[in-house]
Structure 1
Amino acid sequence: MPGIKEIRTKIKSVQNTRKITKAMEMVAASKMRKAQERMRASRPYAEKVREIAAHMMQTHPDYRHPYMEERTDIKAVGVVLVTTDKGLCGGLNTNISRLLLARLKEFEAKGIKVQTTALGNKGLSLLTRIGSNLVSNEVQLGDQPHLDRLIGALKVQLDDYLDGKIDALYVASTHFVNTMKQEPTIMRLLPLPDGLADPFVAGSVKSDNEAAAIESSYQWDYIFEPDAKSVIDDLLTRYVEGLVYQAVAENMASEQSARMVAMKAASDNAKKVIGDLQLVYNKTRQAAITKEISEIVGGAAAV
């Protein structure tokens, strides 16, 4: 059994650890509220851009943007991996990494080449470790996503798609459901689906009858300046960038939620360990006192 001094030292160490995890839990809770507000604030913008883009594509059905052209022979794809820059957030990065590795094995089995982009330090470490074809990356994103920093890494993949070097582009990120639940997802970014359905909402793809009813009920008439093609091209580019921004915002909200939950669990476990150690400390101390009393009584009896 360890001595009293060793137990006291270990209790002090666990108490210090609990102070750190408790402070990190409170910081994560504060950042979580801001991240969730930021994520929810960006959703109406993405929804409105998607709505306008869908309306304009219906207004000019003859024009098909390259982002909406389905390619039958898939020889190469691009993958954008969105992760956190820091750890201590439970299994958040592990879950999305496991899902991505399974998808990469599927591509490899079909003979499809993959080039990757990392948004976040943890994703960069993973893709570098497995030796993937990393074409761009952006790390140290901070607590708030900035589109100007994301565009550079994303543009490499978009240019390769337009040049025909890749036939599809996917985004692997964590979708925020609620504070206790975050789902790792891989969505297809390019080519865009008909009707520009919301990839973050399950069941958002409308049936043919529903789409026809909406199209017959509403007529959209736009005045384009300088011309329809330039406006549609620019709008769809902004729409794709908005999807990536939304994915990063969802991942940041998931990160702070997962970190808060993980730090709370660590604080609770530390409290339990402290209680167990204090019980052992009291038993050891009582045993030492009893032994000393026995030795005194035995010595007095001998005299």
Structure 2
Amino acid sequence: MASLKEVKERIVSVSSTQQITKAMKMVAAAKLRRAQDRIIQLRPYSEKLGGLLANVSSGNAEEGMNTYGEVRDVKRVLFIPVTSDRGLCGAFNSNIFKAVRTALTDEEYANAEVEILPIGKKAFDFFKKKENPVNEDHWNVFGNLSFDAVKTAAEEAMEGFASGKYDKVVLVYNEFKNVATQIVRTEQFLPIMEVATDKGSSNTNTDYIYEPSKDFIIEELIPKSLKIQMYKAVLESNASEHGARMTAMGKATDNAADLLKELKLTYNRTRQAAITKEILEIVGGAEALASE
């Protein structure tokens, strides 16, 4: 059985840890509110622009007007995993690593050259130890999260696809659903996916009136929409990170409270045993003196 001093030290240690996890939960909750507001405001714009992009792109793929919609044999592929800069957020980052490893087992990438463009320090630290080449230019966007910071990463991926350096670009990120739930998404970023045209479906191509011209819309809208799409993925991941950290720290705080109860019970039992032992020693000594 541990001594009173050891148990007391553990109680102090767990109490300090509980205070830290409780504070981290409160900080994550405050950051989550701001991150959640940003992604909720962006989603309607991104979804509408994405739908418009898919319609315009699919309607012009055969005309050769859309560079970013060209479907090629996949010989070189770029994966863009989005993680956090810090840990202590449960399985948030490890789920992304697992999703990338799972995707790479697909037959489509069996003979393809794979390059990684990590966003987030955890992704950079993980993939730089692996065999695939890693782009080291854009992993620190969360240091100053803004559209301009994400835009440069999107532009590099887009230029690589347009020049033929990559035949496919894939985004892997956590989509924010609520505080306790984050959904891992593996999405094709390039080439642009064509919109579904099933008979009787409401998702068929929509007729648009183009002003000033169709060519101008294609040249201006598609690059902008792709950058917005990547920015949305990064904001989704940012909100998911704070939600995952808030949940993880909440569980850690609860676990610390349970552990403190057990430690205090152990402390009281050990203290009572020590007192009982001392009483028995005193009684035994008194009886020994009396018998003399």
Q: TM-score, normalised by structure 2?
A: 0.91
Cα 1:301–1:41 change in 2 (3 A) is: same
Cα 1:139–1:59 change in 2 (3 A) is: closer
Larger mean Cα displacement after TM superposition, 57-66 or 231-240:
57-66
Cα 1:60–1:107 change in 2 (3 A) is: closer
* Structure 1 residues 7-46: aligned runs within 5 Å: 7-46=7-46
* Structure 1 residues 61-210: aligned runs within 5 Å: 62=63, 64-71=65-72, 73-106=73-106, 110-142=110-142, 145-195=145-195, 205=196, 207-210=198-201
- The answer to whether the Cα contact below 8 Å between 1:168 and 1:190 also exists between their aligned partners in 2 is yes
- The answer to whether the Cα contact below 8 Å between 1:173 and 1:247 also exists between their aligned partners in 2 is yes
Other-structure match for 1:198: none
Matches of 2:82 and 2:242, distance apart in 1: 15
* 1:242 and 2:233 matched: no
Structural RMSD (CA): 2.3
Matches of 2:142 and 2:185, distance apart in 1: 22
* 1:277 and 2:277 matched: no
Q: Secondary structure of the residue that 2:254 maps to in structure 1?
A: helix
Number of residues of Structure 1 aligned to a counterpart in Structure 2: 288
* AA partner of residue 65 (structure 1): N
Q: Deviations over 1:194-237 (max 9, x none)?
A: 23xxxxxxxxx46243358764xxx432221xx53233122100
Cα 1:28–1:193 change in 2 (3 A) is: same
Q: CA deviation at 1:54?
A: 4.8
Cα 1:104–1:137 change in 2 (3 A) is: farther
Matches of 1:267 and 1:253, distance apart in 2: 21
Matches of 1:132 and 1:58, distance apart in 2: 32
Larger mean Cα displacement after TM superposition, 268-277 or 170-179:
170-179
* AA partner of residue 229 (structure 1): D
* AA partner of residue 192 (structure 2): L
Cα 1:51–1:183 change in 2 (3 A) is: closer
Segments of structure 2 that go 5 or more residues without pairing to the other structure are: none
Q: Secondary structure of the residue that 1:88 maps to in structure 2?
A: coil
Pairing partner for 1:221 from 194, 200, 209: 209
Large movers: runs of 4+ above 6 Å: 58-61
Q: Secondary structure of the residue that 1:174 maps to in structure 2?
A: strand
Q: Secondary structure of the residue that 1:118 maps to in structure 2?
A: coil
Other-structure match for 1:200: none
Other-structure match for 2:283: 297
Q: CA deviation at 1:34?
A: 1.5
Q: Secondary structure of the residue that 1:210 maps to in structure 2?
A: coil
Segments of structure 1 that go 5 or more residues without pairing to the other structure are: 196-204
* 1:268 and 2:254 matched: yes
Matches of 2:128 and 2:116, distance apart in 1: 10
Q: TM-score, normalised by structure 1?
A: 0.87
- The answer to whether the Cα contact below 8 Å between 2:116 and 2:132 also exists between their aligned partners in 1 is yes
Cα 1:2–1:194 change in 2 (3 A) is: same
* 1:252 and 2:252 matched: no
Matches of 1:192 and 1:130, distance apart in 2: 28
Other-structure match for 1:5: 5
Q: Secondary structure of the residue that 1:142 maps to in structure 2?
A: helix
- The answer to whether the Cα contact below 8 Å between 1:96 and 1:184 also exists between their aligned partners in 2 is yes
Q: CA deviation at 1:143?
A: 7.7
- The answer to whether the Cα contact below 8 Å between 1:96 and 1:173 also exists between their aligned partners in 2 is yes
Q: CA deviation at 1:31?
A: 1.2
Matches of 2:110 and 2:135, distance apart in 1: 21
